[in-house]
Structure formats: structure tokens, C-alpha cells
């Protein structure tokens, strides 16, 4: 429940504060231009990274491998692209971190650990 509170209340409040500060510091129009630029750049990068991930997953499936890393990459790319389309500098920074392969690794590790803990607690059940 506290994570939901963080996502719905705190993060947008921080983003609004940073946007107001940016508007006051560099001006309204440059702030709007940066927001639009990061949205367009983020959509382009998400598409590019997503297509590469799909190709990698297909290649792994072709060789009979389970594309688990590609699935985690895809999850990070979807979240990162969504954050980049959302106006705000904090969400944009997080979105870019999720799109770049090198900075995506810690997020993938975090997702794996969250899933592992949920499975261990019995919140997620694997049926064979």
C-alpha cells in the first residue's frame, strides 16, 4: 500500500515541484520544449530498444531457449517508455535509466528479487 501511495502521490508531487522550479529558472517555453523533446526522444528509444528485444527473444526461441532476460528487458522498456511520455523530469530520468541497457540491469535485478520474494511468500503460484 505504501508503494502505491509513493507512485500516486509523492512522485507526481516531486515532478510538479521540479517542473515549477524549472519554469521559474529557465522559463516556461524552454521547460515545455524539454518536456516535448524528452517525450519524442523517449518514444523513439523505446521503439528501437523494444524491436531489438523482440529480435533477441525470437532468436532465443529459435534455439529452444526461454527468453527470460528478453522478457525482463521488455518489461523495463515498457515502463521506461511510459515514464518518458509522462511529463516531468524525475519520471524522464527514471525512464531513460530503464531504456539504456547498462542502467537497466539494476532494475531487472530488482524485478527478479520482487518476483522471487512474492513466490516465496506464496503470493504468486507457479503451476506446471
Nearest to 6 by CA among 94, 119, 116: 94
Percent of the chain scored above 90 by pLDDT? 62
Domain residue extents for the chain = 2-121
Give Dmax (Cα) for the chain. Answer: 57
Distance CA 121, CA 115 (A): 10
pLDDT, tens only, 53-101? 999 999 999 998 888 889 999 999 999 999 988 888 999 999 999 999 8
pLDDT value at position 1?
A: 66
pTM of the model: 0.82
User: Of residues 6 and 26, which shows the higher confidence score?
Assistant: 26
pLDDT value at position 6?
A: 76
pLDDT at 128 over 70: no
Amino acid at each position: 500500500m505504501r508503494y502505491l501511495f509513493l507512485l500516486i502521490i509523492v512522485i507526481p508531487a516531486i515532478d510538479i515541484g521540479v517542473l515549477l522550479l524549472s519554469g521559474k529558472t529557465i522559463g516556461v517555453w524552454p521547460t515545455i520544449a524539454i518536456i516535448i523533446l524528452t517525450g519524442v526522444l523517449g518514444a523513439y528509444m523505446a521503439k528501437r530498444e523494444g524491436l531489438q528485444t523482440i529480435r533477441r527473444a525470437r532468436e532465443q526461441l529459435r534455439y529452444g531457449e526461454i527468453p527470460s532476460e528478453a522478457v525482463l528487458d521488455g518489461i523495463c522498456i515498457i515502463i521506461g517508455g511510459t515514464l518518458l511520455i509522462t511529463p516531468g523530469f524525475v519520471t524522464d530520468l527514471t525512464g531513460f535509466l530503464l531504456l539504456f541497457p547498462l542502467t537497466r540491469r539494476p532494475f531487472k535485478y530488482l524485478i527478479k528479487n520482487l518476483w522471487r520474494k512474492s513466490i516465496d511468500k506464496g503470493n504468486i503460484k507457479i503451476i506446471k
